Structure 1
Amino acid sequence: MTAPRATRKRTFEIRENLPAPNSAEGALFHYTPDEAAQWTPFRGRTLRNMATKHEIEHSRNGRVIYFTGEQIVALAQRHVVKPFQKPAVARAA
């Protein structure tokens, strides 16, 4: 006999009218990982795991993980892929 499977999915409440992290108001605003996920290439659970493993900068209030707007912008900038440019070929004289 196996244990019954969980039927309820865990949902997280995302506040409305959040300031953008790159705005003056959002620079020091505290976002939950699920709220920060909309501005990063990661999901909320991934951000939570990375913060727990100390792979990324975060703010912690007891056991609750938060990200400031500055930390979100820095994380997004770290994962920007710039286009490849061929180096100029030097011609022999």
Structure 2
Amino acid sequence: MTAPQATKTARRKRPAPRIRENLPAPNTPEGQLFHYTPYEAAQWTPYSGRTLADKLARREFDFVSNGRDNYLTGAQIVALVERHTVKPFTKPARVAA
């Protein structure tokens, strides 16, 4: 008698996220209040769509929730990008004594 062979279970692949076409840019007037999914917002942020979705689930950023899905408004995307923008360094002016 031999030992039973282990069987592999098929892994379910996640469906590719749907990204809508002709999205307004977040810094335009129509994009300020538009709701972007994390995968749609990723093209304007320094994060991938999956990383954004994980950070939203951990509540690391401000977001809009409808109870099931998480969204970012254009204003939130602009604020997120500004938070990660490095400003150039300027020396302070010398004060004459």
Give the alignment's TM-score, normalised by structure 1.
0.83
RMSD: 2.3
User: Which residue in 2 is equivalent to 1:24?
Assistant: 29
The equivalent position to 2:47 in structure 1, one of 42, 46, 65, is 42
Question: Could you tell me how far apart the structure 2 residues matched to 1:35 and 1:78 are?
Answer: 19
Question: Could you tell me how far apart the structure 2 residues matched to 1:82 and 1:35 are?
Answer: 26
User: Which residue in 2 is equivalent to 1:12?
Assistant: 17
Task: Give yes or no for the alignment of 1:33 onto 2:38.
Answer: yes
Residues 51/7 of structure 1: CA separation in 2 closer, same or farther (3 Å cut) = closer
- Determine helix, strand or coil for the equivalent of 1:46: helix
User: Which residue in 1 is equivalent to 2:3?
Assistant: none
- Determine helix, strand or coil for the equivalent of 1:82: coil
Mark the runs of 5 or more structure 1 residues left unpaired by the alignment: none
Greater shift after overlay, 56-65 or 8-17?
Answer: 8-17
Identical-residue share of aligned pairs (%): 56
Question: Could you tell me how far apart the structure 1 residues matched to 2:84 and 2:28 are?
Answer: 20
- Determine helix, strand or coil for the equivalent of 2:70: strand
Please report how far the alpha carbon of residue 82 of structure 1 lies from its aligned counterpart in structure 2 after TM superposition: 2.0
Question: Could you tell me how far apart the structure 2 residues matched to 1:35 and 1:64 are?
Answer: 13
Task: Give yes or no for the alignment of 1:70 onto 2:52.
Answer: no
Question: Could you tell me how far apart the structure 1 residues matched to 2:22 and 2:59 are?
Answer: 29
Give the alignment's TM-score, normalised by structure 2.
0.80
Structure 1: 4+ residue segments shifted above 6 A? none
